[in-house]
Amino acid sequence: MNARRVAAVARKEFLHILRDPRSLAMAIAIPMLMLLLFGYALTLDVDHVPLVVWDQSHTPESREVVSRFSGSPYFSLVRYVDNERDMNRAIDSGQALMGLIIPYDFARRLSFDRQAPLEVAISGVDSNTATIALGYADAIVEIYSQDMMVRRFGRQGPTKVQIPLDVRGRVWFNADMESKNYIVPGLIAVIMMVIAAMLTSLTFAREWERGTMEQLISTPVRGSELVLGKLIPYFAIGLLDMVLAVLLGQFMFAIPLRGNVALLFGIASIFLVGVLAMGMLFSIATKSQLLASQLAMTVTFLPAFLLSGFIFAIVNMPRPIQWITYLVPARYFIGILKGIYLKGVGLEILAADTILLVVFAAAMVVLAQWKFKKKLT
């Protein structure tokens, strides 16, 4: 392999990119725009659940229960209602997600040391949000019940009351449990995979459609040198995108970066080489910019978004789908990004996923070089 010929091909591709503002905009501006849009719009946090209350008791005890909900950061009291029809209408119209019903004999039951029922009605249209909101409601009611029990025993004398179980949860790696802390690193992997494959999917197909491939074939440049020379400029652009994405996550989204930055960019480089070579393979195989770009979008975006563990946990998927996820390189890169960003781990933990990315990158480069033939047919 001749380094001068590789450099000449790389220079030619760099000049083409600089002379085509649309390609340069797609390479730099679109990833940042996607990261901003998805980073702000895509959230799994359930806060300020709109709540309507049907208080049939109208007592200090019932008002205290309502204050526990309205004072929580997880619920927002929309309004009070006087009947079941208004409560159902508020939930049906989307004005509220949850309805709290306090029965008329609530205070009387508490005064006689009896169980006092509370009813919660919630819209199950979004099952995930409904499940989380119900968990919040259960926690508020449980704390209120414990406080009532302490007061009850306190009225009986100075005896010290101890709760039998004292559970103190400790969340590792994402103490505030903010979804952006694991969504943004995953977004970096998804966006880099899509954009990188889209960029290189146009390279060889463009040469064939414009008729310039015949000139390249007539030169002494070897196929491997042509593939490597065309890969270098897009690799540099991909690294630039990676730098901008990390800076954006650090200073705009305040995502903690606890691991080694050099390790992050080292593994990202391996991932980029594999995805760029995969895009070139599509371009070489189809010889059509439209077909190659459509194939790149289909093979990268949907698997990276749905089958990588980015949004949906792989362990919850059906077993056949779990097997398919092993073929998605974004699965390993997302795991690495979350490990470096949130856990601060190194190669002693990430070695297996890194080796699989190396195998993926090597396979794509070899396949792209093997598929390209210096022939007109």
Query: According to CATH, where is 3.40.1710.10 located in the chain?
Result: 49-155
β-pairing, 98-102 with 119-122?
antiparallel
Tell me the whole-structure pTM to 2 decimals.
Answer: 0.79
Q: What is the pLDDT of residue 316?
A: 85
For 296-309, the pLDDT digits (tens) are 888 888 888 889 98
Tokens of 54: 């049907």
3-class SS at 77?
strand
Q: Select from 339, 338, 340, 310 the least CA-distant residue to 325.
A: 310
Tokens of 249: 């996550």
**At which residue do the structure tokens 């919630």 appear?**
122
Distance from the Cα of residue 12 to its chain's centroid: 36
CATH number of 49-155: 3.40.1710.10
Q: Select from 284, 297, 324, 265 the least CA-distant residue to 191.
A: 297
Lowest mean pLDDT among 33-37, 146-150, 202-206, 241-245: 146-150
Rounded CA-CA distance 320/315 in Å is 11
For 94-117, the pLDDT digits (tens) are 899 999 999 988 888 887 767 788
Lowest mean pLDDT among 160-164, 191-195, 263-267: 160-164
Q: For helices 289-306 and 203-210, what crossing angle results, to 10°?
A: 170
Tokens of 243: 């730098």
Q: For helices 329-338 and 289-306, what crossing angle results, to 10°?
A: 50
**What is the side-by-side strand order in the sheet with 75-80?**
75-80, 49-55, 98-102, 119-122
